[in-house]
């Protein structure tokens, strides 16, 4: 196969949770540009519908759905709708996420549970629902979990006080490795991307407060931009990474070096 053929996703269906905005939308754009049919889902249906319409104008076949990844029934419904619309599911990008900011000693149980329920349990429920269908249809597939550099190491207090977020992303990285073993016999590859600092609705307040401190820790001296995750998701979602599973690809400007 040529390099262009290795990255071609024509005729494949991809689900992107949290795909209506931010990093999820950036990755959905990349998959659509490679020819994939795109399913965008999140709790905000209107935002997904708007993004789906914009992708459709570029020639992609799209579907927008409401989904709370914490609910097993919602996860199953998204997969059912994807197969009804496109006949199969080949790629899952788990981008839906949330955070809770507070010093570790003051983080309430409510905040801890909210973050773990979405970022780790919800990710597992969505992954499980998709993997069941991938196993049933045969032919394998690609699952890409969105972790974070926060899941690779600790952070000093006052810079990033979001212990539940860091713990959840560390869990995502370990879950990715284990599921890679579990589903390799079915041809399902499970990898992760660990982004560094990207401006987004979730990170905006923190970047405004301590952005200069964070920037000083990034060797490339800039935050992630609107195209910086496209190559990573293109690689891990496509046959270009056919011999890669259980890997976490760090995209952080050198922050974790």
C-alpha 207 chain-centroid distance: 21
In order, the DSSP letters of 142-173 are EEEEE--GGGTS---TTT--BHHHHHHHHHHH
Cβ contact 191:145 at 8 Å: yes
Per the CB < 8 A criterion, the answer to whether 144 and 91 are in contact is yes
Q: How many residues does the chain have?
A: 257
165 annotated active-site: yes
Say if residues 40 and 62 touch (Cβ distance below 8 Å). yes
Residue ranges with strand state E in the chain = 13-17, 37-42, 62-66, 91-94, 141-146, 188-195, 248-251
127, 180 Cβ separation under 8 angstroms? no
E strand map for 98-140: none
Query: Pick the catalytic residue: 7, 124, 165, 235?
Result: 165
Catalytic residue ranges:
165
């Amino acid at each position: 196969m040529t390099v262009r053929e290795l990255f071609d996703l024509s005729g494949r269906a991809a689900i992107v949770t949290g795909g209506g905005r931010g990093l999820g939308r950036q990755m959905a754009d990349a998959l659509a540009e490679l020819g994939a049919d795109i399913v965008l889902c999140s709790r905000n249906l209107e935002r997904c519908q708007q993004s789906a319409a914009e992708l459709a104008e570029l020639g992609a076949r799209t579907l927008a759905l409401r989904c709370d990844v914490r609910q097993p029934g919602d996860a199953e419904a998204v997969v059912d709708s994807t197969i009804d619309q496109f006949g199969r599911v080949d790629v899952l990008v788990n981008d839906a996420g949330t955070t809770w900011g507070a010093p570790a000693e003051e983080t309430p149980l409510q905040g801890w549970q909210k973050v773990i329920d979405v970022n780790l349990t919800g990710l597992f429920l969505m992954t499980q629902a998709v993997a069941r269908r991938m196993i049933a249809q045969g032919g394998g597939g690609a699952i890409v979990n969105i972790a974070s550099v926060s899941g690779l190491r600790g952070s000093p207090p006052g810079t990033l006080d979001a212990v539940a977020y860091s713990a959840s992303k560390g869990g995502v990285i370990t879950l990715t490795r284990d599921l890679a073993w579990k589903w390799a016999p079915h041809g399902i590859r499970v990898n992760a991307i660990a982004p560094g600092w990207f401006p987004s609705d979730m990170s905006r307040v923190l970047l405004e407060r301590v952005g200069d401190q964070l920037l000083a820790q990034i060797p490339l001296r800039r935050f992630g931009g609107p195209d910086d995750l496209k190559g990573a998701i293109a690689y891990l979602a496509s046959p270009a990474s056919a011999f890669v599973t259980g890997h976490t690809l760090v995209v952080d400007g050198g922050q974790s070096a």
